[in-house]
Amino acid sequence: MDNPFSLIWYVLFLPLAGSLIQALFGGAVVRRLGPAQGKRLMGTIAVLPVAASFLIGVVLVQQLTTMPVQTRHEVVTLFDWIQLQSISIPFEALVDPLSMTMVLIITGVGALIHLYATGYMGDDRDYTRFFTYLNLFIAFMLILVLGNNLPLLFIGWEGVGLCSYLLIGFWYKDLNNARAANKAFIVNRIGDWGLMLGMFLLMVVLAGSKVSLQSNHYLSYEVIFANAVNALRAHPELATAIALLLFVGACGKSAQFPLYFWLPDAMAGPTPVSALIHAATMVTAGVYLLNRMHVLFELSPVASAVVAMVGAFTAVFAALIAFGQTDIKKVLAYSTVSQLGFMFIACGSGAYWAGMFHVTTHAFFKALLFLGSGAVIYAMAHEQDMRRYGNLIKYLPITAGTMIAGYLAIAGVPGLAGFYSKEAILGGALGNEHAIAGGVNLGAVAGWVGLFAAMLTAWYMTRLTMLTFFGKQERWRELPAEEHHEEAHAHDAHEAHEEHAHEDPHGFFFTDEEMAARHEEHEHHHALTGDHQPKEVPPSMWIPLVVLAVLSIGGGYVLHQHELLQKWLYPSGLAVLDPALVPGHPHALPLMALSIFAAGLGLAAGLFFYWKGLPAKETYDESKWSPFRKAARDQFGYDGALMDAGVNGGRDIGLAMWKGVDVAVIDGAVNGLAWTVGRIGDLVRRVQTGFVRSYALMMLLGGVGLLLFLLMELRKLGGAQ
Amino acid sequence: MSGVPLMAYLALGLFMFTTGVVGVIIRRNPIVIFMCIELMLNAVNLTLLAFARYQPSAGSDPVGSAMAGQMMVIFVMAVAAAEVAVGLGIIMAIFRLRHDIDIDEMNLLRG
């Protein structure tokens, strides 16, 4: 291993080792050193491997930039994983611009969120369990992006799904959290099924094609890229089938329209989880997959058109739902779904790099917004209803400042991160002629829809910001003031809440403040009182906020300069990219003006409606809401209908199978057979009289019968002679 | 060579065998049943000896083939002795248990 790129294994295994350390020694360390010291130590141990991975990633990226453009892909083999006669799948990592971009996002944003979590989870009983899962998640995510073949990607894919499940259901004693975790896992299963089928179909096609392959690594990327075009050119319908199956997988992980509905429920998990997994990294796995397998999508304009249209629909649909949400984390969740739709518009219309650009900027500002919302929730005694906020900028200056930076970035204000990546997406969508189905350039259609969604984005994010930080109303003051508000519903997860009131000399960790676990929207479930005074969060939480705010403000500009990211990602040495597809901006359209106009319109509308604080039409009495807002609150009935059809339908099918098929037919047959045998036995047992002499008589008769038979046979023989 | 024809031996054997079979079926005392079984076995022995003595066609080895029948008889005697030993042992055990060896009372295995 004299290759400098063998460092990549440290990137992979450091988080894994961190997870193991947390799992094996975490509990013991915290018990030995006491909660304060032990948690500080374990928190540090949790952050370090991720930060170290990030630094190694930076070193490797430096290494890559020194190489000539065409050779910027390095495969580092660890061992042969599966060796069969017909196919071999090595365990190897691929270091190239695309995977390293993802690695930097995962480990960079991941390290910041780990740091934040050391504060946020400060007095959770299961502190080390949380970091076990979080480190494990980082490890699986790195396998997903670094694996050099589809099975490795699939391992990472399943692994992050597992960690997502564990973390959503982290406070598993609350049934709602367990349900949300199950929902996320089961819905993702549908996507995984598509991904698997696509993978197998691709393997069958490559193995059965007339193209002579150099090796039997059918599922390694370099083999796919080198041969897929030749193998599939004659069968465009096969390319479409494979691409669409992979897209089903991407839809599940990246929460696109038919399968999006697990993500809003996933907000049941702790806020750092929402930021890391359900905003910045895991949900972008689908976009990564589309980027990685872009060859197949280039072969199939139809599949690309489907991707673009699904993305466009999701972008608008989720943005509309966000207007009906009052829970601050739910708004951000739908915003994530909507932004993922933007990325899919980009990938579908062939502007893959723009999709990755938006993945990057979105990781910055959405992680920031989620962490900020976590800080707000923490400061407001775990109240998540925006209708109880207002004028918080007075109490939480740092949180408010950083969150406003993130809000402006996502709204598309010129100069900030979101503006550049959205403009790249819209430019690619309107300028490319790739996603064509039925003679219509659906990519361009998706682009226009995306423009509308961008306007909506600015609008609902303004709503969130205004309701939370501005206005003169401090709406939680309307609540009854109670000196000692004892929560009637004890937090099950925290009934054994640690009684340690330690003063941390550095002020880095919380003291014995109640960190309630319930993330529920129910009005009567909060401990917020009328005389509550919000306090700014400690440094371990606001330092990540500030770093992410800086990235959200400047990241887009830096990556946009001289088309830095575009040139970095393309031409990737592996790609067999059609040069015509490297997107240029359409010059016929005043794109910049369009983007600014859309963002400005959204901002203006938001300010107009929410300048004064909470409008009368959006109060606590939800029966007074407008029909549109009620529908949006209920996801336009989609989730409910689907859950009804899925859960109840599944139960009915199960009941029918049980009562109709299992009990009636299968058990009937088995029991009927047993009954018949029993009846026959009843008849025959009368032969066993118990009298020895009757047995002897039977033997005699049998013997005589046998003799007679033999005599008959002998006579026959005699006759024959 | 005596003047007794083969048929006489066979008739005696048949009579003895039938007596034994009927005895086994109708008697209830296991000792008697054993005697009847001996009767059946000896009837067969008698016929074997008779056939060995009156071979219809002495083949290439008349002495050897006569020996075969007599050897068979020795075997049957040995097996019968062993069987009676085992049977009487069982009967003794049952008698100790129940003070009664009427076989019609031993119907534990009735279906």
φ/ψ of A249, rounded to 5, equals -60, -45
Mean pLDDT in chain A? 83
Nearest CA in chain B to A681: B111
Residue A682 touches partner B, C-beta closer than 8 Å: no
Q: A643 vs A285, which has greater pLDDT? A: A285
pLDDT at A520: 34
pLDDT at A320: 92
pLDDT at A584: 52
Residue B106 touches partner A, C-beta closer than 8 Å: yes
pLDDT at B20: 93
- Reduce the DSSP state of residue A81 to 3 states and report it: strand
Nearest CA in chain A to B23: A693
Asked whether the beta carbons of residue A691 and residue B26 sit closer than 8 angstroms, the reply is: no
pLDDT at A160: 94
pLDDT at A719: 62
Judge contact between A334 and A322, C-beta under 8 A: yes
pLDDT at A701 over 90: yes
Among B14, B18, B24, most A C-beta atoms within 10 A, so best to mutate, is B24
Residue B104 touches partner A, C-beta closer than 8 Å: yes
pLDDT tens, residue by residue, A557-614: 888 776 677 777 765 433 444 444 444 555 556 778 888 888 899 989 888 888 877 7
Q: Which residues, in sequence order, are bridge partners of residue A663? A: none
Residue B22 touches partner A, C-beta closer than 8 Å: no
| Tokens (6 digits) for A227 | 């041969």
Asked whether the beta carbons of residue A685 and residue B111 sit closer than 8 angstroms, the reply is: yes
% of chain A at pLDDT higher than 90: 34
Mean pLDDT of the region A262-268: 89
Residue A690 touches partner B, C-beta closer than 8 Å: yes
Instruction: Compute the distance between CA of residue A379 and CA of residue A105 in angstroms, rounded to an integer.
Output: 28
Q: A335 vs A389, which has greater pLDDT? A: A335
- Contacts of residue A223, Cβ cutoff 8 Å, sequence gap at least 6: A206, A213, A214, A215, A217
Mean pLDDT of the region A127-144: 93
In degrees, rounded to 5, the angle at the alpha carbon of residue A359 between the alpha carbons of residues A45 and A176 is: 65
pLDDT at A5: 80
pLDDT at A2: 57
Asked whether the beta carbons of residue B110 and residue A693 sit closer than 8 angstroms, the reply is: no
Residue among B26, B27, B110 minimizing CB distance to A689: B110
Cβ pairs bridging A and B (under 8 Å): 35
pLDDT at A619 over 70: yes
pLDDT at A26 over 50: yes
Find residues 74-103 of chain B whose CB sits inside 8 Å of chain A: 103
Judge contact between B47 and B15, C-beta under 8 A: no
Q: H-type helices in A254-284, by residue range? A: 262-265, 271-275
Among B18, B21, B29, B105, most A C-beta atoms within 10 A, so best to mutate, is B21
> Nearest C-alpha of chain B: how many angstroms from A178?
57
Residue among B25, B104, B111 minimizing CB distance to A700: B25
Asked whether the beta carbons of residue A690 and residue B107 sit closer than 8 angstroms, the reply is: yes
- Contacts of residue A221, Cβ cutoff 8 Å, sequence gap at least 6: A94, A148, A149, A292, A574
Q: A122 vs A672, which has greater pLDDT? A: A672
pLDDT at A386 over 90: no
pLDDT at B63: 72
Shortest CA distance to A286 belongs to which of A254, A264, A259?
Answer: A254
Kind and range of the H or E run holding A216? none
Asked whether the beta carbons of residue A689 and residue B107 sit closer than 8 angstroms, the reply is: yes
pLDDT tens, residue by residue, A631-646: 888 778 788 888 888 8
Residue A666 touches partner B, C-beta closer than 8 Å: no
Q: A691: which chain B residues are within 8 Å (Cβ-Cβ)?
A: 103-104, 107
Judge contact between A544 and A112, C-beta under 8 A: yes
Shortest CA distance to A364 belongs to which of A151, A631, A166, A558?
Answer: A558
Stretch among A468-472, A662-666, B8-12, B72-76 having the lowest mean pLDDT: A468-472
Q: B107: which chain A residues are within 8 Å (Cβ-Cβ)?
A: 689-691
| DSSP states of A603-657 | HHHHHHHHTTSS-GGGSS-GGGS-HHHHHHHTGGGHHHHHHIIIIIHHHHHHHHI
Amino acid at position A64, single letter: L
Residue B24 touches partner A, C-beta closer than 8 Å: yes
pLDDT at A107 over 90: yes
pLDDT tens, residue by residue, A410-442: 998 888 888 888 888 888 888 777 777 767 778
pLDDT at A141: 94
Judge contact between A367 and A548, C-beta under 8 A: yes
Q: Which residues of B92-101 are buried (b: 16+ CB within 10 A; e: fewer)?
A: eebeeeeeeb
Asked whether the beta carbons of residue A690 and residue B109 sit closer than 8 angstroms, the reply is: yes
Q: A695: which chain B residues are within 8 Å (Cβ-Cβ)?
A: none
pLDDT at A317 over 80: yes
Kind and range of the H or E run holding A508? none
pLDDT at A245 over 70: yes
Shortest CA distance to A150 belongs to which of A218, A242, A228?
Answer: A218
Q: pTM value? A: 0.74
pLDDT at A655 over 50: yes
Provide the Cα torsion A204, A209, A215, A221; round to 10°.
-60
Shortest CA distance to A285 belongs to which of A102, A14, A556, A61?
Answer: A102
pLDDT at B15 over 90: yes
Confidence of residue A246 (pLDDT cuts 50, 70, 90): very high
> Nearest C-alpha of chain A: how many angstroms from B23?
10
pLDDT tens, residue by residue, A44-60: 899 999 999 999 999 99
% of chain A at pLDDT higher than 70: 89
Residue B28 touches partner A, C-beta closer than 8 Å: yes
pLDDT at A33 over 90: no
Instruction: Compute the distance between CA of residue A437 and CA of residue A341 in angstroms, rounded to an integer.
Output: 19
Summarize chain A as % helix, strand, coil (round to 5).
75, 5, 25
pLDDT at A499: 35
Burial class (CB in 10 A: 0-12, 13-18, 19+), A504: middle
Asked whether the beta carbons of residue A689 and residue B104 sit closer than 8 angstroms, the reply is: no
Kind and range of the H or E run holding A269? none
Stretch among A85-94, A202-211, A287-296 having the lowest mean pLDDT: A202-211
Nearest CA in chain B to A687: B111
Within a 13 Å sphere around the CA of A536, how many CA atoms are in the beta-carbon half?
Answer: 18
Find residues 31-50 of chain B whose CB sits inside 8 Å of chain A: 33
pLDDT tens, residue by residue, A333-380: 999 999 999 999 988 888 888 888 899 999 999 999 999 999 998 888
Mean pLDDT of the region B30-37: 91
Instruction: Compute the distance between CA of residue A174 and CA of residue A177 in angstroms, rounded to an integer.
Output: 6
Instruction: Please report, for residues A391, A482, A665, A684, the alpha-carbon distance to residue B109 in angstroms, rounded to integers and kept in the order given.
Output: 93, 83, 37, 14
pLDDT at A504: 38
pLDDT at A589: 63
Asked whether the beta carbons of residue B111 and residue A687 sit closer than 8 angstroms, the reply is: yes
Asked whether the beta carbons of residue B107 and residue A687 sit closer than 8 angstroms, the reply is: no
Nearest CA in chain B to A683: B111
Judge contact between A339 and A410, C-beta under 8 A: yes
pLDDT tens, residue by residue, A493-547: 343 333 333 333 334 333 333 333 333 333 334 467 777 778 887 888 888 899 9
Helices (H) and strands (E) in chain B, counts: 3, 0
